[in-house]
């Protein structure tokens, strides 16, 4: 136990030293308005250089990723079905699916799943 504690303290000290050296030796950048503005042959830009981004599309993509991860969490339930008691398996599966459905209902109720406002 003492060996694990000493190794973890050494690793903690080593990471703190590396983080301190990285912050001291890192290149500092000072940006101003001229450097951050788009450059068009020395003239002022005619329009914005950034394209508009749909926040609704981003929210749908994040919700898709969250539910995709939840599906990967459901996959091991199929494998554990052989080794578990059927009542334990059903209760855990039912509880997990209820949590997923509550999350889906909340997103639907908040209007995050509506594509057009």
pTM of the shown model: 0.47
Residue 2: its pLDDT value, please?
Answer: 86
Tens of pLDDT along the chain (117 residues)?
Answer: 888 889 999 999 999 999 999 888 887 666 666 666 666 566 665 666 666 777 778 888 888 898 888 888 888 888 888 888 889 888 988 998 899 889 889 988 988 777 665
Which of helix, strand or coil describes residue 84? coil
Distance CA 62, CA 26 (A): 33
* 40 DSSP β-pair partners: 43
Identify whether the C-beta of residue 97 lies closer than 8 Å to the C-beta of residue 85: no
Structure tokens at 110: 């908040």
Integer angstrom CA distances of residue 81 from 37, 73, 77, 97, 99: 59, 14, 6, 15, 20
CB atoms within 10 A of CB 68: 9
């Amino acid at each position: 136990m003492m060996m694990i504690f000493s190794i973890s303290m050494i690793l903690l000290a080593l990471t703190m030293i590396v983080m301190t050296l990285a912050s001291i030796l890192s290149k500092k950048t000072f940006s101003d308005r001229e450097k951050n503005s788009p450059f068009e042959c020395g003239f002022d830009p005619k329009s914005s250089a950034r394209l508009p981004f749909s926040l609704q599309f981003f929210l749908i993509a994040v919700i898709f990723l969250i539910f995709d991860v939840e599906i990967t969490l459901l996959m091991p339930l199929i494998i554990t079905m052989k080794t578990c008691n059927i009542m334990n398996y059903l209760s855990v599966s039912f509880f997990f699916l209820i949590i997923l459905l509550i999350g889906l209902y909340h997103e639907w109720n908040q209007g995050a799943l509506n594509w057009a406002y």
